[in-house]
């Protein structure tokens, strides 16, 4: 294992991903047990409402064993790509973006595989209901888009 992997991945990324997965799980627990009715945060824009999502991200319909297989394949594929092609690079944005994606993917995969649905609770008017894990994935994807736009030829 090279020193870069020891320097960034083991002491920083793995604990960071774990913290984000735990934060996601705690918010889902709160939604499941304490979000009995809709809570309006910003009228006609943002509210909290409990929902069970048996589909894929942002309520896209894909269910059952196929969804579980696709979920695991995506997680392993993204991890393999990161490990093989990106883990050696010295760029904080790159590693942070992948950490967000891994945390979001693991947070949702855990529920999807072992419970059969993902807990969603953040509702934007005119958009899907989602959770922190979905937000982590989206922010990580935006970070990667910016990284590849700015730092690659």
- Catalytic residue, candidates 101, 120, 122, 140: 120
Both tokens of 145, joined, read 């888009």
Rounded distance, CA 102 to CA 80, Å? 12
Rounded distance, CA 145 to CA 137, Å? 12
90 is catalytic: no
120 is catalytic: yes
Rounded distance, CA 82 to CA 97, Å? 11
- Catalytic residue, candidates 134, 136, 137, 140: 134
53 CB-side CA count, 13 A: 28
75 closest CA partner among 52, 56, 89, 55: 56
Which residues are identified as catalytic? Answer: 120, 134
């Amino acid at each position: 294992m090279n020193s870069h992997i020891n320097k960034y991945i083991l002491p920083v990324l793995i604990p960071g991903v774990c913290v984000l997965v735990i934060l996601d799980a705690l918010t889902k627990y709160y939604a499941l047990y304490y979000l009995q009715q809709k809570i309006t945060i910003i009228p006609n824009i943002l509210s909290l409402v409990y929902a069970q999502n048996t589909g894929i991200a942002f309520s896209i319909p894909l269910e059952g064993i196929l969804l579980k297989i696709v979920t695991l394949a995506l997680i392993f594929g993204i991890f393999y790509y990161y490990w093989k092609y990106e883990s050696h690079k010295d760029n904080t944005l790159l590693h942070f973006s992948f950490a967000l994606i891994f945390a979001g993917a693991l947070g949702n995969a855990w529920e999807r595989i072992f419970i059969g649905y993902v807990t969603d609770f953040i509702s934007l008017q005119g958009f899907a209901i989602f959770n922190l894990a979905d937000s982590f994935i989206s922010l990580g994807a935006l970070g990667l888009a910016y990284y590849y736009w700015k730092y690659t030829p």
